[in-house]
Amino acid sequence: MLEQPEGPIGDRTSVELFAGGGGLAMAVHRAGFRPLLVNELVKHACDTLKANVAVARGESERIPSPGERWPLVEGDVSKVRFDYLWDRVDLLAGGPPCQPFSLGGVAKGDEDKRNMFPEMFRAIRKIQPKAVICENVRGLLRPSFRPYFEYIERELRLPFEERGDEATWREHDDVLRERLAEEPADPKRRYDVVTTTVNAADYGVPQIRNRIIIVAFRSNCGVDIEGFKRAVQPTHSEAALIRSMLDGSYWERHPDVPSHVRMRVMSRLPSTPPKDDGKLPWRTLRDAIKGIDGQPSLPPVPWDRLDRREYRLGGFSDHIGWPDARIYSGHTPNELDRPAKTVKAGVHGVPGGESVMLTDDLLPEPLDSSPYAYKHRYMTVRETARVMTFPDSWKLAGPRGEQMRQLGNAVPVMLGEFFARAIARALDEAESQR
């Protein structure tokens, strides 16, 4: 079962589009928002949601009561009706498919039919939520896409200025610029937008994951935008991780690390500790495997069990050894004493070197094909889920490739929750001032 929010913030409500395997939806729920509707297209992701928290809604357009399972509408978001949710939603959340903008995609940008931002704007017009949160790749900020991204921000500020069927985005952008220069006739139809460039590791996630998070507040809510910006500043840093290794506190948390591993890691650190920046240390892949915030340690995968067989190693599901891991140019492995590399979905749901990890076990003799002296293997799905800060109780549906795809497309739960809680506090504070 999904953990309940800590300290519920009244009866805040949410709608989640492009829910995938549930990372952002779970984060929003943990921050105190009650899901009124969840939408997802991909079958295995829908199966994951239903295995954990959701129930197929069917044709009923009913507001669920507190404590009910999340109503899941399976299928194309363009077919979903939102009218019955008008002015009843605090937070609209979603990560519109990012393939049009990612470095790994074909980079067609706004001409790509997979661009789902227009559906987010349609939902805003039908729901009129108090706040919106979107997560996407940093590819939106590349110079070639920057003008279109700035158009997206303007469209989010004025979502009720609907683009005509025949208008190009540049023509619509000209209209938006003119409207934004005018005083709003109705503040409930305008939003204040904050875009934050993030590395998930800077927020306690044991993974290097560079993204953008776009948050919008309905203007009439009176949210302190500058206060919100201060509230979402990073909490963790690489400098603090280095300091913790140099002063020994990191190794005190991991007393079973072999001396040869510790010596290798320490040999690459600066002799002078970085300046204390007042932040917490980055979390590492080793931290994730050993358990964060009270999680139990995952057992090591025996080298003779890299056989694709599910046998609930240590009682954990999806903690399965996978054979044939390779290291080659462009596919360098994860190291235990660094945050993991970005978890990727991969073109076919099976990522490359990003899912390979070096262990603490030395090779019997060096391999000519590898510069590393340590044995390596694929990360298990459970280890990858921990890197994405999913709870161990979260069940992922489908074969391994589909499970990895869901994780690679997800928002790390810890990162999403941090921003969702900041949104909830901002709304609470604004309402208390009225």
Catalytic residues: 98
Cα–Cα distance for residue pair 13/37, rounded to 1 Å: 9
Q: Which of 374, 430, 150, 387 is nearest to 287 (CA)?
A: 387
Q: Which residue has the tokens 């009910």?
A: 68
On whether the CB atoms of residues 331 and 356 are closer than 8 A, the answer is: yes
Identify each DSSP E strand in 186-322 by its residue range.
191-199, 210-218, 236-237, 280-281
What is the per-residue DSSP string for 296-346?
PPPPPPPGGG-SS----GGG-TT---------BTTBPPB-TTSPBPPP---
Look up tokens 């889920």; give the residue: 385
Q: Residue 396 CB: number of other CB atoms within 10 A? A: 26
User: Cα separation of 18 and 394, whole Å?
Assistant: 18
